Structure 1
Amino acid sequence: MFNLTPTVRNLLIANVLFLVAQQSLLPLLTQIGSLYPIGTPLYYPWQFFTYMFLHSGWGHLFSNMLALLVFGPRLEQLWGATRFLTFWLVCGVGAGLCYDGVRAVEIYRMEQSQREFRQAPSGPDYVGFFEKHLPEASGYQDLAVALDREPQNQAYIAQANREIGEAVAYVRDSRAAGMLGASGAVFGILFAFAYLFPNLEMYLLFIPFPIKAKYLVFVDIMYELYRGTHRVPGDDIAHFAHLGGALVAFIALKIWEGGSGRERFR
């Protein structure tokens, strides 16, 4: 049975209420509260805080809140309510900063590829743009073949430039560019749990033997790193937000730990 501590309980309630508001009372909350790339039309500074209380649906919310419910209470008992809440928020905001930093680099590279294509348009480069930056895209192959067959055809070149421009705008400026969810903060909690209780054995569904917390989190982080650097079509998970939450958790733990050992956490 779960040991529900006060701050964990309040975070669960807050996240449920926010999702209800998103779906029933204030749908605009998703747009103004999700985290968008810095400098784009839909970005607002408060999104680094609000995005972690918003979710795409009940399944998304359930997975994050289940992790909070499993790993959070023990940390709250160890640290107390104030430090636990501070840690949760710091990891969430830090994960958003890491994610937006990675997104800024990705958008810059995408815009650079766009400029290079404008300077020297070709069918292979047109295909390469989408394969590199939007692997989930489809329907561009016919134009690529036509442009490769007639590389000086201005109509084909104009259409290719237009579609690349629309792709860049979609990634950078559209409503679909927003990121939301408590996963970054959750990964901070997971990392802290494994750091403080590394040898605690845990039982997982579908795995008939216990796994130590340090191995469980290590495998999870390696998986996120692999998926973040090897994008596949249809993967809309913010892997670098997860990794950012774990990184910020490590930094926060080392700062709190200081030079006096783990007693500083108590």
Structure 2
Amino acid sequence: MNNRNAFPVQVVLALLIINGILFLMEMTASGRQLIELFALWPLGSGSDFGFGSGLFDGAAPGFQVWQLVTYSFLHGGVFHLLVNMYALWLFGSRMEMVWGSKAFLIYYFVCVIGAALVQLLVASQGSGPAYPTIGASGGVFGLLLAFGMTFPNERLMLLFPPVAMSAKWFVIIYGAVELYFGVTGSMAGVAHFAHLGGMLFGYLLIRYWRNHPPRYR
């Protein structure tokens, strides 16, 4: 038996473990340093930008290139973590079994980085205090899109309201809701355009793979 058959979702499991460990570290005295160094800060942020919550005493840390990835391993609370990790397991495990671990890993972080780039672009158009972006949602929304494109007719059950619908409609509705919230500014504090960025970059990579199948599948 080869390793892929014996342990088909090794990347998903590793991501779950890393996210869990870092969340526990966020709960310690080093949590502030983790946010300073590894959250996604807007371009140009630094001593000229105040941080609205008061956590950083008037100065926001600046953007660093590694934050394009590391922000995805931090979360703002237990509910934030659990929702993202549940979706990562639900959709990610299926996609890793379809694609294989290497292709899955590349796809996930393309979505994470794409979400970060879109968020940086949107944040650069605003003004006021600089806020960090954290969470795996960009990657998760990319996986949601991949699941809907791969299994379009599979039935999914919503939690609120408890309604069953096909995966393709689930993706369409979720994407439309995120676009509405992003454009209208509803649900402040949620990086809606980052979610859409994860879906966009995921879609572009899937389209590319359909014409140029990766050799590392």
TM range (shorter): 0.7 to 0.9
Which deviations, in whole Å up to 9, do the C-alpha atoms of 1:166-225 show, x marking residues without a partner? Answer: xx3x2x3xxxx1110000010000001101111111223355553100000100000000
Distance 1:12 1:25 in 2: 22
Say which of 21, 45, 51 aligns to 1:17: 21
Aligned mates of 2:174, 2:14 — CA distance in 1: 27
Report the AA paired with residue 249 of structure 1.
G
Could you tell me which amino acid in structure 1 is paired with residue 30 of structure 2? L
Matches of 2:77 and 2:36, distance apart in 1 = 14
Q: 1:224 maps to which residue? A: 178
Q: Provide closer, same or farther for how the CA distance between residues 11 and 222 of structure 1 changes in structure 2, counting only shifts above 3 A.
A: same
1:203 aligns with 2:207: no
TM-score (norm: length of structure 2): 0.83
Matched residue of 2:140: which SS?
helix
1:181 aligns with 2:135: yes
Asked if the contact 1:256–1:265 (Cα under 8 Å) also holds between the matched residues in 2, the reply is no
After the TM superposition, which segments of 4 or more aligned residues of structure 1 sit over 4 Å from their partners? Answer: 206-209, 263-266
Q: Structure 2: any 5+ residue segments left out of the alignment?
A: 1-6, 47-61
SS at match of 2:27: helix
Note the 1:3-42 alignment, pairs <5 A: 5-24=9-28, 26-27=30-31, 28-41=33-46, 42=62
Could you tell me which amino acid in structure 1 is paired with residue 10 of structure 2?
P
Q: Which residue number corresponds to residue 52 of structure 1?
A: 72
Aligned amino acid, residue 17 of structure 1 = I
Q: Helix, strand or coil: the match of 1:106? A: coil
* Residues in 2 aligned to 1:105 and 1:235: alpha-carbon distance in whole angstroms: 16
Pick the aligned partner of 2:206 from 253, 257, 264: 253
Helix, strand or coil at the partner of 1:43: coil
Question: 2:114 corresponds to which residue?
Answer: 94
| Partner-residue secondary structure (3-state), 1:211 | strand
The Cα of 1:44 is off from its aligned counterpart by: 1.3
Q: How do 1:119-130 residues align onto structure 2 when only pairs under 5 Å count? A: none
Going by fraction, where is helix more abundant, 1 or 2?
Answer: 1
Q: Percent identity?
A: 37
Structure 2: distance between partners of 1:204 and 1:20: 29
Q: Counterpart of 1:178 in 2: which secondary structure? A: coil
Give 1:8 deviation, angstroms: 1.0
Cα root mean square deviation, aligned: 2.1
Partner of 1:68: 88
Encode CA deviations 1:65-88: one digit per residue, 9 max, x unaligned: 010111111100011111111111
**1:23 Cα deviation after fit:** 1.3
How far apart, in 1, do the equivalents of 2:216 and 2:152 lie? 15
Distance 2:11 2:137 in 1: 17
Tell me which amino acid in the other structure corresponds to 1:238.
A
| Alignment correspondent of 1:243 | 196
- The question of whether the paired residues in 2 share the 8 Å contact of 1:256 and 1:264 is answered with no
The count of corresponding residues between Structure 1 and Structure 2 is: 195
Aligned to 2:68, the other structure's residue is in SS state helix
